[in-house]
């Protein structure tokens, strides 16, 4: 079982120390989320009952790839991934260059968590078509793989048409694609094009079982074996090694947690609030009580 750290909403000045602590504690991959700006969105946030986002204008959303580059410089084994990067809100070559550079600078410690996004306002401001975002991502994934393989590439598709050309630097190893989302379109995309699937909410066992059944069905439909996908699922369970082993038997290869979310008021008072001291203490306890027993 891989343990991924969900670092959404972490203040920007905590990321470097958090990366050091995560590596020391045996975290496999540190993830951070992607948004370009905050506004009074008309687009409904799909993961809340009210349709309102769970953050405000003061919430930090540092640039994913700048932050990964900085964290890679202070670690040696920890991997990094966005959860998830809204690639179709950007042009193909900006995405290709950012991810490729981060992969090279980190020594191939980058996985590409990617999704279509929900916020139409971000697409409008970056000049990308919101309504074709799924189809463009489907075409982006093989085009990016080809660009990162090195050498001269050309692509002639419905949404992207270029070549022959090349980019440099390129990674020494393939960058794994983890497709985010649990809609039918997202699960089919993961089964058809992904190296992994990454959950975008905290899953009960019942809900996750349904997702896993869909993924298995779609993998079979596309002629891929069941173990073709890594499955990274944030789980609605108290951290426990035995429970994680049971989920591993279901085919889950990794889970995601932010141990400080379970801190008690007494712990927050002891460590002076939600700062890096609390995150360090809760990560160290998680490593001792859960990761070490796996």
Q: Supply the DSSP string of the chain, one letter for each residue.
A: -EEEEE-TT--GGGHHHHHHHHHHTT-SEEEE---S-----SSPPTTSSSS--S--TTS----HHHHHHHHHHT-SS-EEEES-EEGGGS-HHHHHHHHHHHHHHTTS-B-EEEE--S-HHHHHHHT--STTHHHHHHHHHHHHHHHHT-S-EEEE-SS-EEEEE--SS--SSPPPEEEE--SHHHHHHHHHH-SEEE-SSPBPHHHHHHHHHHHHHHHHHTT--GGGSEEEEEBSS---HHHHHHHHHTT--EEEE-GGGG--HHHHHHTTSSSHHHHHHHHHHHHHHTGGG-
Would you say residue 263 lies in a domain?
A: no
Give me the phi and psi of 273, to 5 degrees please.
105, -155
Q: What is the pLDDT of residue 210?
A: 96
Which CATH number covers residue 148?
Answer: 3.20.20.30
Domain interval for residue 89: 31-175
Q: What is the pLDDT of residue 107?
A: 98
Would you say residue 184 lies in a domain?
A: no
Q: Tokens for 182, please give them.
A: 């649990």
Q: What is the pLDDT of residue 239?
A: 81
Would you say residue 186 lies in a domain?
A: no
Would you say residue 265 lies in a domain?
A: no
Would you say residue 44 lies in a domain?
A: yes
Q: Tokens for 159, please give them.
A: 């949404």
Locus of tokens 């990454």: 198
Would you say residue 107 lies in a domain?
A: yes
Q: What is the pLDDT of residue 43?
A: 93
Per-residue pLDDT of the chain in tens (294 residues, 90 and over written 9): 999 999 999 999 999 999 999 999 999 999 999 999 999 899 988 888 888 888 899 999 999 999 999 999 999 999 999 999 999 999 999 999 999 999 999 999 999 999 999 999 999 999 999 999 999 999 999 999 999 999 999 999 999 999 899 999 999 999 999 999 999 999 999 999 999 999 988 999 999 999 999 999 999 999 999 999 999 999 998 888 888 899 999 999 999 999 999 999 999 999 999 999 999 999 999 999 999 988
Would you say residue 54 lies in a domain?
A: yes
Question: For the chain, how many structural domains are there in total?
Answer: 1
Would you say residue 72 lies in a domain?
A: yes
Q: Classify residue 167 as left (phi > 0), alpha (psi -120 to 50) or beta.
A: beta
Q: What is the pLDDT of residue 241?
A: 84
């Amino acid at each position: 079982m891989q343990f991924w750290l969900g670092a959404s909403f972490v203040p920007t000045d905590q990321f470097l120390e958090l990366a050091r602590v995560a590596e020391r504690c045996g975290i496999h991959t540190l993830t951070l989320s992607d948004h370009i700006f905050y506004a009074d969105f008309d687009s409904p946030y799909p993961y809340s009952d009210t349709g309102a986002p769970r953050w405000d204008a003061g919430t930090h959303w540092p640039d994913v790839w700048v932050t990964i580059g900085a964290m890679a410089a202070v670690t040696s084994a920890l991997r990094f991934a966005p959860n998830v990067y809204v690639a179709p809100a950007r042009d193909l070559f900006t995405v290709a260059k950012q991810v490729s550079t981060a992969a090279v600078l980190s020594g191939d410690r980058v996985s590409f968590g990617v999704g279509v996004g929900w916020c139409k306002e971000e697409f409008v401001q970056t000049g990308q078509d919101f309504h074709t975002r799924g189809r463009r991502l489907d075409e982006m994934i093989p085009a990016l793989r080809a660009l990162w393989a090195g050498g001269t590439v050309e692509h002639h598709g419905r949404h992207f048409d270029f070549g022959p050309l090349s980019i440099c630097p390129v990674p020494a190893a393939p960058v794994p694609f983890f497709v985010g989302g649990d809609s039918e379109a997202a699960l089919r995309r993961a089964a058809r094009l992904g190296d992994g699937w990454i959950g975008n909410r905290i899953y009960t066992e019942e809900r996750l079982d349904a997702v896993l059944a869909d993924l298995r069905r779609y993998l079979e439909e596309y002629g891929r074996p069941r173990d073709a996908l890594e499955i990274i699922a944030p789980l609605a369970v108290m951290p426990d090694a035995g429970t994680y082993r049971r989920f591993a038997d279901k085919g889950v290869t990794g889970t995601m947690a932010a141990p400080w979310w379970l801190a008690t008021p007494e712990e927050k008072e002891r460590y002076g609030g939600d700062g890096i001291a609390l995150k360090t203490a809760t990560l160290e306890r998680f490593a001792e009580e859960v990761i070490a027993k796996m």
